[in-house]
Amino acid sequence: MPFPSKDKLALLSRDRSFLVKTGIFAIAISMILAAISSVVFNPISPGSRTVTDVIREIAKPPKSAFELADRIRRGDIASELLQLIENPDLSEHPTTQEVEITAGQLAGAPDIQSLLNSADYLTESERVLMEALHLGLNRKRAEEAISAIESTGKGQRFREEFLGDLYMQQGKIAEAANAYLREAEDFPESEHSKWSAIKALRIEKDLERLKVYAADPEYISQLSPSEQVYLYADLRDYWNLALTTARVELQHLGSIFVIPAIYSALIWFLILLSFTRGQKRTILLAALGFIAGIFSAWLTIYFVILQEYIQGFNYEGQVTPLGRAIYFVAGVGLREEVAKLVCFIPLALLLRKQNNYLIALVVAGCVGLGFAAQENIGYFYNSIGAASYTPWVRLLTANALHIALTGVIGFYFYRMLVKQGKGWEDFLLNFIMMVVAHGMYDAMLTLPSLQDYSVFSVILIALIIYRYLDPLRANIDTNRLHLRLSPLGIFVTGSIFLVCGTLVFSAIGMPFRFAFGTFANAVGAMVPTAFVFINRFRDL
């Protein structure tokens, strides 16, 4: 069967009967696939997955002194297992809840002392040091453990490293840092000592020595990029802070969660382009806007470190509801909108001579879309393993919100640019309005004191979206409009396939009844928001 032509697809996208039938068919197929996936990948039987696997992995006997030292630092395995099972993040996994955690299973996990007794790979001096570390960390007899370690000869592997661990437990940070550094100097292979030395120096705020070791590749390589971000923030090394923050954001683009982020972004990208004739130059500018939006997400993280970590203007520092509401406006809302505007400005300058408000609206919206796509990767990662319709929720909220916020600000900035500075007051007013609206939306969803008003978040989204869609509709290119894909058709079809795909994916990790129940609840809860867009797209 040949693929429909472009003109045929345009007609089908406006055929409401076709859209309804497509939706019903897609939901039916996804339910069948979800039911099969649930049976094939998730059989409900005690011990079939999760807990037994975790016990097997964590209780695996160490095979070297390095592994044994890490195992001692982790503490008692039974406590670790219980914490894992009681983790609220896992409480939504029916397979985890239905597995019986018996005393026999926990009792069967070897304790540290038995691991020490069976560790025939240890030298006599290593055994003494390991016993002392276990005595200090897990039996809480730190002074006795330190004395036992100090009685051994200097220059032995693990001696200074374990002293550092015990000093850290006692809060003797300076002594711990010195011990770790001695170990790292004598034994360059000691990765734990290098990492711990940096940690201790940061706690001590010993910036002089931190600068020295931050410049040493042997030490800095032991820190993850995220840890390096805060090290450079401590040192006020703004250049390396910027580079490392960019590395962290680039890592996100290599995640598998970029797939749902790009798919949900593609839906809105096509919707925005449907307001234009889809010329190659327009598509290229929109794509550049999307890339600029991804860059603005990095710039926002950089602002977060500057504002919250270095300047101390953060959520925890605001103890009153008013203070926290101000934080969401002057913190979250302001920095995100400034970052997106900064990334839109070069494109606005490029479009200045074209004097095309429609293209400016679309490109500005794509900047917001790129920001949302990058931000969504983290949200999708945090929802893994749970019955979650985060991709669709984000499609209707974050994606649309950032498109509209940046679109409105970008539109009035571009208009001011075209008019050579005239209308600056309109730009400033709309910039302030969007920053405040952004902050208040986040505040209503986060602050306990505003939870009773969270229902108004849908109204706020609608007002912001209409503020963007109205000028977009007013400037729509009507040339051969009926031969272009309908925004409503793109929105409906894209949403259907997104939620259906999420249903199938969710069923892989849980019984079908739980996956479908969450599917129904998520769809029902977001229907009012969906109609905000359906109402604006239905006559286009």
The residue that leads in pLDDT, 6 or 185, is: 185
Say which residue the tokens 């009773």 belong to.
452
The helix/strand/coil state of 60 is coil
pLDDT tens column, 232-249: 999 999 999 999 999 988
On whether the CB atoms of residues 34 and 507 are closer than 8 A, the answer is yes
Which helix (H) or strand (E) segment is 381 a member of? helix 357-382
Contacts of 27 (CB under 8 A, 6+ apart): 496, 500
The helix/strand/coil state of 481 is helix
Local confidence band at 492 (pLDDT 50, 70, 90 cut-offs): confident
The residue that leads in pLDDT, 292 or 506, is: 292
DSSP for residue 447: -
CA 373/CA 262 separation, integer angstroms:
6
DSSP for residue 456: G
> Among 1.10.260, 3.40.50, 1.25.40, 1.10.10, what is the CATH number of 52-248?
1.25.40
On whether the CB atoms of residues 224 and 198 are closer than 8 A, the answer is no
DSSP for residue 505: H
What is the token pair recorded at 84? 């894992």
What pLDDT, on a 0 to 100 scale, did the predictor assign at position 104? Answer: 45
The residue that leads in pLDDT, 83 or 211, is: 211
Say which residue the tokens 């007794």 belong to.
117
- Global pTM value: 0.82
What is the token pair recorded at 193? 């000592």
Segments making up each domain of the chain, as ranges: 52-248, 277-537
CA 264/CA 373 separation, integer angstroms:
8
What pLDDT, on a 0 to 100 scale, did the predictor assign at position 503? Answer: 76
CA 458/CA 137 separation, integer angstroms:
51
Local confidence band at 264 (pLDDT 50, 70, 90 cut-offs): confident
What pLDDT, on a 0 to 100 scale, did the predictor assign at position 2? Answer: 58
Contacts of 203 (CB under 8 A, 6+ apart): 173
CA 319/CA 324 separation, integer angstroms:
7
On whether the CB atoms of residues 394 and 372 are closer than 8 A, the answer is yes
CA 323/CA 485 separation, integer angstroms:
46
Q: Which of 360, 395, 369 is nearest to 530 (CA)?
A: 395
On whether the CB atoms of residues 500 and 30 are closer than 8 A, the answer is yes
**Mean pLDDT, the chain, as a whole number?**
81
What pLDDT, on a 0 to 100 scale, did the predictor assign at position 306? Answer: 93
CA 24/CA 504 separation, integer angstroms:
15
What is the token pair recorded at 318? 């605001």
What is the token pair recorded at 241? 């802070």
pLDDT tens column, 42-66: 544 333 344 455 555 555 678 888 8
Q: Which of 268, 487, 280 is nearest to 394 (CA)?
A: 268
Percent of the chain with pLDDT over 70: 83
What is the DSSP track for 110-146?
A: --HHHHHHT-TTS-HHHHHHHHHHHHHHTS--HHHHH
pLDDT at residue 73 is higher than 70: yes
What is the DSSP track for 425-440?
A: HHHHHHHHHHHHHHHH
CA 286/CA 291 separation, integer angstroms:
9
* Helix locations, 187-308, DSSP H: 191-204, 207-214, 217-220, 225-235, 238-253, 258-273, 280-304
Region 289-315: mean pLDDT is 92
Region 121-128: mean pLDDT is 88
The helix/strand/coil state of 278 is coil
Percent of the chain with pLDDT over 90: 36
